[in-house]
Structure 1
Amino acid sequence: MTGTKDNTPVHAAGCVLWRRSHVAEGLELCLVHRPKYDDWSHPKGKLKRGEDPLAGALREVEEESGYAVEPGAELPTVHYMANGRPKQVRYWAAEATTGGFTPNDEIDRILWLPPTAARLRLTQPRDRELVDELLATMRRA
């Protein structure tokens, strides 16, 4: 079909990945750097056909960050346009349990930062809002 635009949403999932700080009281959030876009974001990725969104989020987080996680509360779904198509990303709070980062073609660096520094480093405002949602969820728990 020439000239038609595919408006089918791209479905993706990820996590706002956190761990208890080793040096100070509080939390550190994991941000991933994608060299293709030169941006800092939360680990996330496209779902495979028929994949459960939470299972996809956990798979993507482990692929991108190297960490296995314990999922927590679901956070707000983020909607935006990517390459001319609507994209929908479901997020969960997730605590890093075991693992370690190894650079790859998709993700060349990760950072563990306190929430305030993570908000400043994140490239997209929509990702910054997820930091606030994580902290609000943890305060309610």
Structure 2
Amino acid sequence: MSTPDSATHRTLTVQAAGCVLWRRSPVTGELELCLVHRPKYDDWSWPKGKLKRGEDPLAGALREVAEETGHTAVPAAELPSAHYLANGRPKRVRYWAAEAVSGTFTPNDEVDRVLWLSVDEARRRLTEARDQALVDELMRSLEHT
């Protein structure tokens, strides 16, 4: 009877999903993007998280948006995935453009703040360059809707 090679088992890619969440400002009508602040990492990023075993990636992305921002969202185009190392393991995060349609944020242990920012402000506030690239991808996807 064979057992999985432990080195191979440890390097399986972590699967995660999230959304580049947007809305029209209730005040100005301008496009606003939602960023979440994670106190554990002290960073600003898109709402995202690990998929549950067997979970559909889009369903997981929408679940993470709801858990982290309190908002329900309508998904649109899939955006490019991010690939990077997290805690020494390869990680893939699939992203979708999604419009926030309702909800209210309540701080929790994972996300203590959300900000709705203009496109330029969001690009500047995002901690990781890989997240900044998704701003342009979102804008391209919205041009085609």
TM-score bucket of the superposed structures, by smaller chain: over 0.9
The alignment partner of 1:4 has SS state of helix
Name the counterpart of 1:87.
91
| 1:92-129 alpha-carbon deviations (Å, 9 max, x no partner) | 00000111000000000000000100000000000000
Name the counterpart of 1:76.
80
The alignment partner of 2:7 has SS state of coil
Gaps of at least 5 residues in structure 2 are: none
Corresponding residue pairs, total? 141
The aligned runs of 1:3-22 (5 Å cut-off) are 4=7, 6-22=10-26
The alignment partner of 1:32 has SS state of strand
The Cα RMSD (Å) is: 1.5
The aligned runs of 1:78-117 (5 Å cut-off) are 78-117=82-121
Tell me the percent identity: 67
For 2:28 and 2:49, the matched residues in 1 are separated by 31
Letter in 2 for 1:96: A
Deviation at 1:23, TM superposition (A): 2.6
TM-score normalised by the chain length of structure 1: 0.96
In structure 1, which of residues 36, 43, 67 is the aligned counterpart of residue 40 of structure 2?
A: 36
Deviation at 1:139, TM superposition (A): 1.2
For 1:4 and 1:16, the matched residues in 2 are separated by 34
**4+ aligned runs moved over 4 Å, structure 1:** none
Structure with the greater alpha carbon radius of gyration = 2
In structure 1, which of residues 61, 73, 77 is the aligned counterpart of residue 65 of structure 2?
A: 61
Deviation at 1:3, TM superposition (A): 8.0
For 2:98 and 2:144, the matched residues in 1 are separated by 15
TM-score normalised by the chain length of structure 2: 0.93
Moved more, 3-12 or 56-65: 3-12
For 1:56 and 1:35, the matched residues in 2 are separated by 22
Name the counterpart of 2:52.
48
